[in-house]
Amino acid sequence: MLNGVRIVEFEALGPAPFAAMHLAQLGAEVTAIQRAGAGNPAKQGPALLDRGKRAITLDLKTPDDLAVARALVARSDALIEGFRPGVMERLGLGPEEARALNPALVYGRMTGWGQDGPRASQAGHDLNYAGLSGALFYAGLPDAEPGVPPTLLGDIGGGALYLVVGILSGLINARATGKGCVVDAAILDGASHMMSLLLSMGTQFDTGARGRSLLDGPHWSRCYACADGGHVAVQCLEPQFYAEFLARMGLTEDPRFAAQYVPAQWPAQTEALAALFAAQPRAHWEALFDGSDACVAPVLSPAEAQIDPHVTARGIWQGGVPAAAPRFDGTIAPPGRIPGRGEHGAAIRAELQEEGLL
């Protein structure tokens, strides 16, 4: 879908490289400028976020390598950087310098707190941004501290995917007007914006107390432990799905569960369901709810998820890594090969020289 789009990425951590990988898997030519040497010591494990990219290592504090970076900016449609505010400006690669090189450039900036405001220069991580946004308030059960959600909530949901949307919007506008823009994608902003769905559900999300809203308190919206230590996730929100859940559990005639939306009854209903689920292993509950609309699913480990029949049928995992998403006309984009550090450096420099940019 993005064939012909060129993106230059300045190596960072977390949401910025994820956004660049996502665009590469959609067909963009993404050139990752990696730090000279061994790279960032905070990056551990396989370089999955470099899938589908070309790689060049540069020391941006040297004039020659800085010239290469400027040449890449000059010929790209978009730029992605994930540093604290001011870092790119100190390198001489801030939005104003980039605009002088390339007026149509879409300049994507990924931060936690945003480019301005009292916290802009402070360090932070996913959990901090989710906490300040209000989203973390609803995480976890009412009798415990707010849980630590996976980094998908902030770094990816509130960060990387908002950056992708911003860059794609900027590219459409640049093609129409010839003018680029600066995309200020902050995890705090995105996490706050995502709360619109919760707030749209009404006053249930304005209680001021954890465990009293529509999704973090009910007996039908939580995980339950099974006899073998596994867990199942239950979230039968609508009445028809709740009725199916009760039928499968043999509780249709049980007066304790007649009221679905009465918060005062949720603790006792939860306690009763917890005892029932704890009496059988996870496989029992998987078989009981298989094929139903009761909105119950097992909580799988990543290894288990890869061999789940539905996941397998859709080809969601390929070669041990998640496939690209979304699909277009039913086609799954290949995950993309992981390049070695700086693997394409010589080829990229040769291209820039041939194009007269070096």
Query: Which residues does the annotation mark as catalytic?
Result: 125, 155
First-to-last alpha carbon distance for the chain, in angstroms, is 30
Euclidean distance between CA atoms 164 and 189, whole angstroms: 14
Contact 72, 352 (CB under 8 A): yes
Half-sphere exposure in the Cβ direction for 64 (13 Å, CA): 3
- Give me the amino acid identity at 76: S
Q: Give 255's DSSP letter.
A: G
- Cα torsion 342, 343, 344, 347 to 10°: value is 110
Q: What angle do CA 347, 350, 354 make, to 5 degrees?
A: 140
Q: Spell 25-40 as b/e; 16+ CB within 10 A means b.
A: bbbbbbbbbbbeeeee
Euclidean distance between CA atoms 53 and 55, whole angstroms: 6
